[in-house]
Chains A and B, each alone.
Chain A
Amino acid sequence: MLSILLDEPGKRVLMMGNEAIARGAIEAGMKFCAAYPGSPSSEIIGTLARPDVAENFGHHAEWSTNEVVALEAAAGASFGGLRALCAMKQNGINVASDFLMSVVMSGCKGGLVLVVADDPGAHCSNNEMDSRAYARLLDAPLLEPATIEESKEMTRWAFELSEELEMPCMIRSVTRISHARGDLSLGPINRLQRTPRFEAYDRFLSLGTVTHSVLHGKLEKARDIFEKSQFNQYVGPSGAELVIITCGTGWLFSREALRTLGLEDKVGILKLATTWPLPNRFIVDHLKGVKQVLFVEEIDPFMEQNVKSLLADYIGSELEVIKFFGKGSGHVRSRFGPALGEIDPDIVIRAVAEIKGVDYQAQTPEYAERASTLLSEYTASRDLAFCAGCPHRASYWVMKNALALDGRGGFVLGDIGCYGMGAGRSGYFINRTLHCMGSGAGVACGLGNLAKFEFDQPVVAVMGDSTFFHAALPALINARYNGAKFTSVVLDNSATAMTGFQPHPGIGLNAMGNPATQVLIEDVCKGLGFHVEIRDPFKVDEAVEALHDLMQREESSVLILRHTCGLVESRKKKKDRISVNAEKCLGDECGCARFCTRVFGCPALIWNEKEKHASVDEVVCTGCGVCAYLCPQSAIEVEKAEELQR
């Protein structure tokens, strides 16, 4: 049985950080959760929305159309008195921030917890924004779990804290917690039975300075609670000269660094789990007599700067003069520099070794030298690419060819998501902008409205199916209203593929897999007055013709390129067998040399160097067949799955 379902307090189980957060919410008696999917946060609601989980614990789980709607929905449930959870990636908090700014002032009733998962190192993002700056901007209490186990414990605590303070609480996770796995101990499940009710005296109003001052009072109360929190702790000798102040992933990295350098009985570690507002007294009391402080945290020097400004009031009175190390001093730096990329144990080891003047080498110099020679001589870079069989590759091929056919210097305005790769080789470098959800259409509202300045290049805006609902709609309405002219291409792969196939309003299923009202993209576009065409990107010629025709129109129009994501499709059906007929393949003579492997670039199409022809890697190939369609020699052959069965 899935461990999140178990009601066996004390049992040790393996969980992903995001599952641990979900389990913490369950143990707190959470009854309503909402999110817009985004790595590295998606598995939080993904887990809670599993039909067995939602049924067992009786909560509502939804994928909302975007992050601000998700947060508003969760706040609504809280106003009714239920405990509610909202989760998002760092980009999401920008979308949710307008409401967030006022819900901290209006306060809430049932515990309301917002989890934001940051992505240091941008493993799965187009930025590495540090969302903690919002906690300070909002005057909101901020918790930073340091381990998988703490993710669960602190999520559970956050609901209580939120109810005590009558305001939302924010939890900051990072990829190395959300996507890490570890063992933890299950706790008892709070089977809270609350009947939601909007009482006659309930008011949730954000009213300028009046509620702002109430908010400041709550923040001071949060500080008092944080002063006593067990999650903040000091380990190490008393009278240490150097103390590391850390939070989040930095805690275990710092422990490892001291162990590795044999400095555990010389250097102290002050672990902060509540990083806004800071537990002032707790910090000052642990720095008495300390001469050096090293700050270790992910991305921005958020805690570093806040603690420094706190200590400015105490140095020279209660505290001695302290020398500070961290991102400000350049001691905590990744290979990109300080406050860039993610931290790791080696970064902390190096920082401590430099401060303490200890010599440390991870590998001997000659070993490291050999290793780096091997890396440069024997490894090729693994650039990201659309998957084998991905309909986006075909769609980009369609756009590339339609633009070439049109010949007026048209270009594509991009968007984030899988098809953000349209800016790279896999998308033939044709995406020319890359910003945020829906921004392709928004930017097209400007570039598509420059005709009176004699601008005559055709403008194409791409958006994914999920993005269409998330953020592209206001831009499309704006285009109609203000007369911007561009062609929208909706890449409809019928799933929010990048984050793990969560359904969206166009699919006809809700988060828990139950039938839901289907909102068809074409109906919405027609309703807005757009001319709409729908094509299958794997039928390349038809799709190129359709896009080319739409680009000639006087008004804005929409092309929906619809084909199910190869990963979803391959889970459902047996695949066709695709192979290259070596006799027919032209190889180096084909196209501008080896068309399919070198130009089209499906990862399943490999080049047989010895025999000088293309071949198909049957393990990677999904059997989509588009290469067979495109091969100028008809050298690629398809055996239908049905025939293979016989």
Chain B
Amino acid sequence: MKQNGDCLNVIITGVGGQGNILASHILATAAIAEGFHVTIGETYGQSQRGGSVMSHVRLSKGESLGALIPRGKAHVIVGLEPMETLRVAADYANPGTKTIVNPRPNYPLMVLYGAQEYPPVETLLARLGEMVEVVKVVEGTELAKGIGEAMASNVVMVGALAGSGWTPIPTDTFISVLKEVIPQKILALNQRALKLGIESIRK
């Protein structure tokens, strides 16, 4: 693996309710299946109420790592929401960081109240692009809506990560561990979501 020795640092970020935890859980389960040590630091204290959430997922060989990634040391950032991606990148990115972003905004309360503004998404993504090596836009919510469940956008985004080739985990491992993480009842839907993500990033 690259940078910082023998580890891969991935941050999955979004807003409470977008399914950050499930997304990090799928990635971590796939990593364990490939023999990695995994530590996930979840920041979601009050996430049910629209706060920012992020999961620091750290893969390592040899020994486990702490639950927080040091500043500037993220290799990959998966953004379930554009503004949150920028927020996380400002602290944790470096010029070599790769990002995957769902461009659908989730408006903060202060924006709804009219007290602050949400910048145009295109501008936001352009600014992000100046900070990192790559910005891949994946229409997570739109793709998930297409299969009838907007809430599955998190799994679409994990699919995009699985298909990106930016982790040392084979795409097939993501597909095969899904059944360990997702209840039978909604498995088929989520398998479709994952595939959509994989295809979308490969386009």
Partner among A181, A252, A421 whose Cβ is within 8 Å of the Cβ of B42:
A181
Chain B CB within 10 Å — which of A383, A421, A598, A607 has the most?
A383
Chain A CB within 10 Å — which of B5, B107, B119, B131 has the most?
B107
Q: Is A370 within 8 A of B131, CB to CB?
A: yes
Q: Is A252 within 8 A of B64, CB to CB?
A: yes
A182–B64 CA distance with the chains assembled, in angstroms: 8
* Contact partners of A252 in chain B: CB under 8 A: 39, 64-67
Q: Total contacts A to B, CB within 8 angstroms?
A: 183
> Does A382 count as interface, using CB distance less than 8 angstroms?
yes
* Contact partners of B170 in chain A: CB under 8 A: none
* Contact partners of B38 in chain A: CB under 8 A: 14, 181-183
Q: Is B45 within 8 A of A374, CB to CB?
A: no
> Does A259 count as interface, using CB distance less than 8 angstroms?
yes
> Does A636 count as interface, using CB distance less than 8 angstroms?
no
CB distance from B126 to the nearest CB of A (A): 10
The A-contacting residues of B in range 46-102, CB under 8 angstroms, are 46, 48-52, 63-73, 83, 86-87, 89-91, 93-95
> Does A154 count as interface, using CB distance less than 8 angstroms?
no
A176 and B67 contact, Cβ closer than 8 Å, known pairs A123-B45, A182-B37:
yes
> Does B110 count as interface, using CB distance less than 8 angstroms?
yes
Interface 1/0 per residue, B129-140 and A, CB below 8 Å: 011000000000
Q: Is A379 within 8 A of B39, CB to CB?
A: no
Identity of the chain A residue whose Cβ is nearest the Cβ of B89 in the assembled complex: A371
| The stretch of B24-32, B160-168, B185-193, B195-203 that contacts the partner chain | B24-32
| The stretch of A236-244, A300-308, A384-392, A438-446 that contacts the partner chain | A384-392
Chain A CB within 10 Å — which of B83, B87, B118 has the most?
B87
A149–B38 CA distance with the chains assembled, in angstroms: 11
A interface, over-half SS: mixed
A181 and B112 contact, Cβ closer than 8 Å, known pairs A378-B127, A386-B49:
no
Q: Is A182 within 8 A of B91, CB to CB?
A: no
Q: Is A425 within 8 A of B109, CB to CB?
A: yes
Interface 1/0 per residue, A363-382 and B, CB below 8 Å: 10001001110110111111
The B-contacting residues of A in range 251-302, CB under 8 angstroms, are 252-253, 255-256, 259-260
> Does A137 count as interface, using CB distance less than 8 angstroms?
no
| The stretch of A52-60, A206-214, A344-352, A543-551 that contacts the partner chain | A344-352
> Does A107 count as interface, using CB distance less than 8 angstroms?
no
Q: Is B68 within 8 A of A253, CB to CB?
A: yes
* Contact partners of B116 in chain A: CB under 8 A: 380-381
Identity of the chain A residue whose Cβ is nearest the Cβ of B39 in the assembled complex: A182
Q: Is B109 within 8 A of A123, CB to CB?
A: no
Q: Is B111 within 8 A of A380, CB to CB?
A: yes
> Does A179 count as interface, using CB distance less than 8 angstroms?
yes
Sorting the interface of chain A by its residue count into under 10, 10 to 19, 20 to 34 or 35 or more gives 35 or more
Q: Is B39 within 8 A of A380, CB to CB?
A: no
Partner among A181, A253, A567 whose Cβ is within 8 Å of the Cβ of B48:
A567
> Does B106 count as interface, using CB distance less than 8 angstroms?
yes
Q: Is A598 within 8 A of B64, CB to CB?
A: no
A383 and B108 contact, Cβ closer than 8 Å, known pairs A370-B130, A607-B114:
yes
CB distance from A20 to the nearest CB of B (A): 12
A378 and B39 contact, Cβ closer than 8 Å, known pairs A601-B109, A603-B112:
no
Identity of the chain A residue whose Cβ is nearest the Cβ of B43 in the assembled complex: A123
Contacts A380-B116, A425-B113, A597-B113 supplied; 20 other A-B pairs, CB < 8 Å: A14-B29, A40-B45, A123-B46, A124-B46, A176-B41, A180-B41, A182-B67, A253-B66, A363-B94, A371-B90, A378-B83, A378-B86, A378-B119, A379-B90, A380-B110, A380-B111, A383-B50, A418-B49, A601-B113, A618-B150
Interface residues of chain A, those whose CB is within 8 Å of chain B, are: 12-14, 39-40, 119, 122-124, 147-149, 175-177, 179-183, 249, 252-253, 255-256, 259-260, 344-346, 349, 362-363, 367, 370-372, 374-375, 377-387, 418, 421, 425-426, 497-498, 567, 593-594, 597-598, 601, 603, 605-607, 617-620
Query: Would you give 28 A-B contacts (Cβ < 8 Å), ordered by A?
Result: A12-B32, A14-B29, A14-B32, A123-B43, A124-B45, A176-B68, A180-B40, A180-B41, A181-B39, A181-B42, A345-B69, A362-B72, A363-B72, A371-B91, A374-B90, A378-B83, A380-B83, A381-B116, A382-B109, A383-B50, A383-B108, A384-B51, A387-B50, A497-B48, A601-B113, A603-B109, A607-B112, A620-B106
6 nearest A-B pairs in the assembled complex, by CB-CB distance = A123-B45, A252-B66, A362-B71, A124-B45, A371-B90, A180-B67
